[in-house]
Structure 1
Amino acid sequence: MNRTTTVRVDIETYEGLKKLSTELNQPMQKIIQEALAEYKRKVILSKTAEAFAALKKNNELWEEETEERKLWENTLQDGIEQ
C-alpha cells in the first residue's frame, strides 16, 4: 500500500507542477518522485566531484591514488582471459 502525505509548496511551484503534469500526462506525484531522484543523483555527483578535487589537491594522497591505479591497470595484463 502506498502511503502518502501532504507537502506545502508555494503557488508558483504548484502551478508549474500542474502544468508539467498536464504536458507529460503524468501524475504530479510521479513528477515529484522523478525530480527528487534526479536531484539526489546531482547531489551525489557534485559531492563526488568535490571529493575528487580535494584528493587531487593533496599531493601525497593523489600520488597514492595514481600508484593504486597503476596496480589495477596491471591486473588487466595478467594473462587471464576476460
Structure 2
Amino acid sequence: MLNKTTTVRVDIETYEGLKKLASELNQPMQNIIQEALKDYKRKVILSKTAEAFAALKENNKLWQEEIEERKLWENTLQDGIEQ
C-alpha cells in the first residue's frame, strides 16, 4: 500500500528550519516531521501524567488509597516466586 500524503502549511521560518535540519541529518523532511510529532505526543502524555499525579497527591484520601495499593503490590514481590 502506498503512503498517502497531504500538504501542511507552515510559515517560512518553520519551513527553512525544517529544510536545514533535514539537510543536516540527511533525512527527508517528512521523517523529521514524523519524529517531531512522535516526540511531541510523548511530551504531552508525560505532561498530562505528571498533572494527574500531582492532582492525586493533593487529594489526601485518594493519595492514601494509592499508598495502600502500592504496599499491596510490594508484597507480591516477596511471594517467593523467581522472576
Normalising by the residue count of structure 2, what TM-score does the alignment of the two structures yield?
0.97
Structure 1 residue ranges, 4+ long, deviating more than 3 angstroms after superposition: none
What is the CA–CA distance in structure 1 between the aligned matches of 2:68 and 2:3, rounded to whole Å?
A: 49
Q: Which runs of 5+ in 1 are unaligned?
A: none
The number of aligned residues is 82
What is the CA–CA distance in structure 2 between the aligned matches of 1:63 and 1:20, rounded to whole Å?
A: 48
Give the fraction of aligned pairs with identical amino acids, expressed as a percent.
Answer: 87
Q: Which runs of 5+ in 2 are unaligned?
A: none
Partner in structure 1 of residue 65 of structure 2:
64
Counting only pairs closer than 5 Å after superposition, residues 1-82 of structure 1 correspond to structure 2 as 1-82=2-83
The root-mean-square deviation of aligned C-alpha atoms, in Å, is 0.4
Normalising by the residue count of structure 1, what TM-score does the alignment of the two structures yield?
0.98
